[in-house]
Structure 1
Amino acid sequence: MKFNIRTTVLFFSVFFSVQLYAQKQVAITIDDIPNTKRFQKDGFQSLLLKKLDSLQLPIAIFINEGKIYETDSVSMNFRLLENWVKRSYITLGNHSFSHLRYSDAGLTVFANDIYKGEAITKELAKKYSKPLKHFRFPFNDLGKDTLQHKEIENYLTQKGYRITPYTVESEDWAYSTVYEYYLAKNDIANAKSTGEKYVKKTIEFFEFFEMLGTQQYKRPVRHIYLCHDNLLNADYLPKIVKLLKTKGYTFVSLDEALQDSVYQQKDNYYKKWGVSWLYRWMKSQKEATAIMKKEPDNAEIEKLYDKITKG
């Protein structure tokens, strides 16, 4: 059988595409940057940023500029944000100014919060020759109904932003609250146990969503992991990364992950709750709800989180 040049190019294109999609890949994204309260407690250093420097992985961050004003060390907080932005491995994203729930705030207030939340970041992005084109909703709340969803999508498109999805999330915010609670009480044993449970549960969530993605699309999808700027991740994210590597994952940038065709699909979920995009793409929300019930169980940490935060 003879192969002409066009056939040969097509063959290798298909071959390498199949090989690429056969790999397990993930982009790590971190919300609520910069954690200025933690920064102050840790002697004006970001322990998480130091760990990320050593990991040498592409990372996307989503910035709440309002956090710069949460402590009285505004100038130092500004420098902290700039330290995040200037890292070559960092991709920038807007997470709004004050972390409002869009479904409660409504279009006008929320749009103003988006605009307010890009003022400093845009200047820093320009200084370090980086784009600012990604937006992630606080609480992953895209609106309470179809109208709210469409209104904000149109606004973000006009602003040049792309809504940033995620496929894997393991409630690190709850584990972090419990972890820091035990550390504050000098209960090192329970703090360590909480950190280890976070790692274990995160790997379980990866396994669950890897299986779900493969079932849905007959191949591994490029996952996007959502976590937050906190002490828990400073101490335990490196361990999660190490375990994912042993499971065959490679780490890609957010832009590389978004090149996967799954992210071109229509979002069919029109409620305010933050759920994995693997559910949002499902045509039947009844099916999605049934599958959600099979997720790894975080009831124990949620109960502890509620007890700590609600007294």
Structure 2
Amino acid sequence: MKAQNSKYIILLCLCLFVNISAFSQKKSISITIDDVPNTRKYQKENFEPTLLNVLDSLKIPFTIFINEAKIFNNEFKKENKELLELWIQNQNSIVGNHSYSHVRYSAVGYDKFVQDIEEGEKLTKEYASNYNKEVKYFRFPFNDMGADSSQHVEIRAYLKSKDYVIAPFTVESSDWMFNYVYLHYLNNGKIDKAAAIGEQYVEKTLELLSFYESMANSIYKRPVKHIYLCHDNAINTDYIGEIITRVEKENYEIVSFEESLTDTIYAQEDIYYKKWGISWLYRWMETQDERIKWMKQEPNLSEINQLYKEIVENN
């Protein structure tokens, strides 16, 4: 009887240990923002850094990936430089390079792409050094790392030689497409339709996060430290606060990009050698069949995709 009781006690302790371990692996996500600074939006909003103000109010860490060409796309170069400096000096920001003009690597080739990388770090590094910050992360425009393995290997070697770390992501929700439709409705005075698109963006973002969380749990048997990719645009200015609130209600902690990168999953080799900008959760998969299996299960974005196509065609 004593031996049997001892077995029950051991089993109970094991169950408690498993439950405590699972509970202790808290879910987390970091926020990364591409195509900073949005200077056209800045001009239209009377030179108010509205998205930056929202992020400040949320008191969360975030990482920005900068396209310096945006500084020079209108006559307000002085104001645009001031906006860039505001983003960089912010105490909650980590700073990264996103190339100068957001060119697609597989289209322009190695030499032109390297030139664009180096052109895109001049002001950024100058301002960052003024605030004791480094610029050590690089995110590929379109997350296009090359058309084939040769291009992938060549550009990775260059970035390594320059001490750049390639910036991954695990979750994105096509915010650029939602934003295009959102602005179309706002610009045409269709406020209710714009609001509906904003709410749809929030819901789809949460659905996609849940999907990628389930995928990661299935593959790695634990929560992973997710990285969310979005952009400096109007829909995030108006809805990123709601997304953060909802994400936190789902028991996620908003952490820094550097904290996310401490997860051992990011030490895995990226073995996807095509140009498409898919999640790193797919890039680490050993076969295309496995990728396709999971991609078929993704939440459906066909409704917003169809709206986007119709608006583009009509314009």
TM-score (norm 2): 0.92
Q: 1:19 to 1:232 in 2, by over 3 A?
A: same
Q: Which residue of 2 aligns with 1:268?
A: 271
2:233 maps to 1:230: yes
Q: Which residue of 2 aligns with 1:35?
A: 38
2:253 maps to 1:250: yes
2-structure distance, mates of 1:131, 1:30 = 17
Q: Could you list the runs of 4 or more consecutive aligned residues of structure 1 that deviate by over 3 angstroms after TM superposition?
A: 17-21
2:296 maps to 1:299: no
SS at match of 2:135: coil
Q: Which residue of 2 aligns with 1:75?
A: 78
Whether the 8 Å contact between 1:35 and 1:67 is mirrored in structure 2 is yes
Q: Which residue of 2 aligns with 1:9?
A: none
2:163 maps to 1:163: no
Q: Which residue of 2 aligns with 1:277?
A: 280
Whether the 8 Å contact between 1:182 and 1:190 is mirrored in structure 2 is yes
Superposed counterparts of 1:1-311, under 5 Å: 22-311=25-314
TM-score (norm 1): 0.93
| Paired amino acid for 1:253 | S
SS at match of 1:295: coil
2-structure distance, mates of 1:290, 1:30 = 29
Structure 1: which 5+ residue stretches go unaligned? Answer: 1-13
Whether the 8 Å contact between 1:21 and 1:220 is mirrored in structure 2 is no
| Paired amino acid for 1:297 | N
| Paired amino acid for 1:81 | L
1-structure distance, mates of 2:117, 2:310 = 33
| Paired amino acid for 2:117 | I
2-structure distance, mates of 1:147, 1:264 = 21
Q: Which residue of 1 aligns with 2:4?
A: none
RMSD: 1.5
SS at match of 1:67: helix
| Paired amino acid for 2:223 | P
After TM superposition, give the deviation of residue 71 of structure 1 in Å.
1.3
SS at match of 1:28: strand
Q: Deviations over 1:57-87 (max 9, x none)?
A: 0100000000001111000000000000000
Whether the 8 Å contact between 2:22 and 2:222 is mirrored in structure 1 is no
Q: Percent identical across equivalent pairs? A: 48
2-structure distance, mates of 1:36, 1:223 = 29
1-structure distance, mates of 2:196, 2:74 = 30
SS at match of 1:165: coil
Whether the 8 Å contact between 2:148 and 2:274 is mirrored in structure 1 is yes
Whether the 8 Å contact between 1:21 and 1:221 is mirrored in structure 2 is no
Q: 1:92 to 1:278 in 2, by over 3 A?
A: same
The number of aligned residues is: 297
1-structure distance, mates of 2:23, 2:160 = 30
Bigger mean CA offset, 228-237 vs 282-291: 282-291
2-structure distance, mates of 1:309, 1:280 = 30
Whether the 8 Å contact between 1:170 and 1:202 is mirrored in structure 2 is yes
After TM superposition, give the deviation of residue 19 of structure 1 in Å.
6.9
| Paired amino acid for 1:196 | E
SS at match of 1:223: strand
2-structure distance, mates of 1:67, 1:291 = 36
After TM superposition, give the deviation of residue 21 of structure 1 in Å.
6.5
After TM superposition, give the deviation of residue 169 of structure 1 in Å.
0.2
